[in-house]
């Protein structure tokens, strides 16, 4: 880790040399790695002292990380994550709360908090994270960064600790569109389902209705500028299947069951002290029933078909990333949980459907960042990145 870490973004592991290619498309860039991915010579703690104690030193590097090293990128350290990567606040009870480089009095968002902190604070050029229910997209919006949740399974998650495997997806952050795109060119092969030259930009009215009133003017003005750049946005009444309550629980029940299957055995055996919010989420996850999971999986299948039909091969949603700016660091845990639950209604769209979403740092409210997003069809990740690059110009 960097010896000087004012952003509190990095786990304080002893430095170990990590080899990289001498030349390559990313040879001028440095990067951080969320501490759920294995890097040879380091342990993998996933924000949990117990998982860290059980880890041992890894002898192999996660394939996605190795791809970046092979492209010449310079690894500078492993970044803090929320405990078990099961939060959206960026406040780890054991390893601290990384600093939001774009708004130091506000949370970074999680669980890829350290990665977003490192990039927004200028400690590295880009950083990788993971996104289950918004763990890249939320910090990207909070920290004034480009961030992507890729199509589910598009980038392999081998060598990474799981949370909810049917939702877990790869992602990364960058401050500028050029670096953001360059990382995508290395990690992503040609799109299996590229967008055509002429797209249908869609304005989902039910998603926009979730935006908090103070944030609406800035987000709507920015959306109009994006629309003027990449195509007129056509209003559509409803993306959600049934209603937002159904969307929320369709996501939560499946995530909860999978999170308990991933980490419940360790929690039951060792009873580790869990931080606020994380403890309650795991306790709740343990109670999810087979009936609830079965109904939620059936709901997810129906929603995927609905969104697939809505987007076709040329549709792109233009929508806010989150309902509002990042909460203050002094916000109570109860208020943070309420904010998280409302944010999940927006974020669960891409998670449930397994489609890519790019958050762009193009708006602000009273000087505090607000992200705006493009959501596209599965397999159109590079096309979506190119659209975001065009919008950023």
Catalytic residue among 120, 130, 135, 364: 135
Query: Residue 361 and residue 322: Cα distance in Å, rounded?
Result: 12
Catalytic residue among 46, 48, 87, 111: 111
78 among known catalytic residues? no
Q: Determine the Cα angle at 82 with ends 267 and 60, to 5°.
A: 80
**b/e map 132-171, b = 16+ CB within 10 Å:** bbbbbbbbbbbbbbbbbbbbbebbebebbbbbbebbbbbb
Query: Residue 207 and residue 152: Cα distance in Å, rounded?
Result: 22
Contact 75, 31 (CB under 8 A): yes
111 among known catalytic residues? yes
Residues whose CB falls within 8 Å of the CB of residue 174, separated by 6 or more in sequence, listed in order? 119, 125, 126, 145, 146, 180, 183
Catalytic residue among 34, 120, 121, 383: 34
C-alpha pair distances (Å), 105 with each of 90, 100, 329, 383: 13, 8, 6, 35
Q: Determine the Cα angle at 126 with ends 136 and 371, to 5°.
A: 40
Residues whose CB falls within 8 Å of the CB of residue 289, separated by 6 or more in sequence, listed in order? none
Query: Residue 386 and residue 388: Cα distance in Å, rounded?
Result: 5
104 among known catalytic residues? no
Residues forming the active site: 34, 111, 135
């Amino acid at each position: 880790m960097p010896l000087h870490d004012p952003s509190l973004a990095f786990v304080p592991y002893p430095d170990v040399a990590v080899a990289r290619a001498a030349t390559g498309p990313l040879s001028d860039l440095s990067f951080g790695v969320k501490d759920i991915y294995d890097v040879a010579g380091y342990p993998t703690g996933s924000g949990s002292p117990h998982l860290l104690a059980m880890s041992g030193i890894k002898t192999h590097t996660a394939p996605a990380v190795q791809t970046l090293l092979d492209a010449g990128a310079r690894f500078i350290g492993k970044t803090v994550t929320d405990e078990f990567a099961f939060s959206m606040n960026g406040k780890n009870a054991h390893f601290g709360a990384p600093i939001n480089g774009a708004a130091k009095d506000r949370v970074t968002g999680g669980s890829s908090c350290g990665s977003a902190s490192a990039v927004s604070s200028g400690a590295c050029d880009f950083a990788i994270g993971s996104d289950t229910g918004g763990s890249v997209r939320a910090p990207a919006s909070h920290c004034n960064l480009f961030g992507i949740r890729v199509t589910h399974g598009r980038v392999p998650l081998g060598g990474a600790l799981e949370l909810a495997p049917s939702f877990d997806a790869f992602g990364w952050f960058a401050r500028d569109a050029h670096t953001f795109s360059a990382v995508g060119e290395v990690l992503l092969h040609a799109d299996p389902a590229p967008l055509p030259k002429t797209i249908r930009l869609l304005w989902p009215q039910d998603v926009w209705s979730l935006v908090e009133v103070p944030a609406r003017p800035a987000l709507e003005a920015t959306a109009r500028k994006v629309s003027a750049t990449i195509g007129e946005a056509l209003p559509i009444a409803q993306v959600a299947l049934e209603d937002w309550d159904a969307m929320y629980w369709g996501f939560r029940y499946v995530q909860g069951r999978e999170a308990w299957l991933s980490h419940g055995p360790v929690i039951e055996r060792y009873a580790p002290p869990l931080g606020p919010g994380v403890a309650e989420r795991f306790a709740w996850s343990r109670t999810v029933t087979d009936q609830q999971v079965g109904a939620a999986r059936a709901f997810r299948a129906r929603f995927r078909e609905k969104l697939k039909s809505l987007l076709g091969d040329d549709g792109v949603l233009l929508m806010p990333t989150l309902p509002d700016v990042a909460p203050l660091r002094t916000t109570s845990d109860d208020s943070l949980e309420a904010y998280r639950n409302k944010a999940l209604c927006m974020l669960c769209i891409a998670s449930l459907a397994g489609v890519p979403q790019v958050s762009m740092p193009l708006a602000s409210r009273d000087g505090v960042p607000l992200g705006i997003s493009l959501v596209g069809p599965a397999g159109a990740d590079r096309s979506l990145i190119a659209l975001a690059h065009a919008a950023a110009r």
